[in-house]
Amino acid sequence: MSKEAYKDFTNVAIKKESEGSGRKHPVYRFFDKDNRYICEVRYGGANANALQRGLWTNTKNALPYFNSVTNGWIDYSHSHILVHLFSHALISSSKGHEIALAEIKQDILRLKQESGVHG
């Protein structure tokens, strides 16, 4: 990556948060020169789930700093319920996944029946 690619990150502040919310591991939050949140890196132990570690951001805050992997082809910003569903699915059990999948399949069947689609 060229030096030019790093140009926008020369004025980034990184703030470490070690306490609060029952946190056992630090979170490093990145802010731009105007103190606007860009992203954060969460650390967790071997038992940490997907929500407790990794690179995180809020899409609307990150647009000036990150490119979409799908180039905008997939956009969940219109469906907060879907985003909420995914966040809960990441930390639920396999049994919970089975129950949710059965409910979703029933809903798809209902939609097909209402629209006259068979199959």
Q: State the DSSP string of 65-97.
A: T---TTTTSS--TT-HHHHHHHHHHTTS-HHHH
pTM: 0.50
Which of 73, 100, 79, 76 lies closest to 88, judged by CA? Answer: 100
Average confidence score pLDDT of the chain: 77
| Residue with the two structure tokens 């980034």 | 12
What are the C-alpha distances in Å from 30 to residues 40, 72, 81, 101? Answer: 6, 23, 27, 36
Range from 8-12, 15-19, 112-116 carrying the lowest mean pLDDT? 8-12
- The domains of the chain are located at 1-69, 76-119
Give the model's confidence band at 96: pLDDT under 50 very low, under 70 low, under 90 confident, else very high: very high
Residues 55-68: what's their mean pLDDT? 73
- For residues 94 and 55, the model is more confident at 94
Q: What is the pLDDT of residue 103?
A: 95
Write the pLDDT tens digit of every residue in 44-59: 777 777 667 777 777 6
Q: What is the pLDDT of residue 78?
A: 67
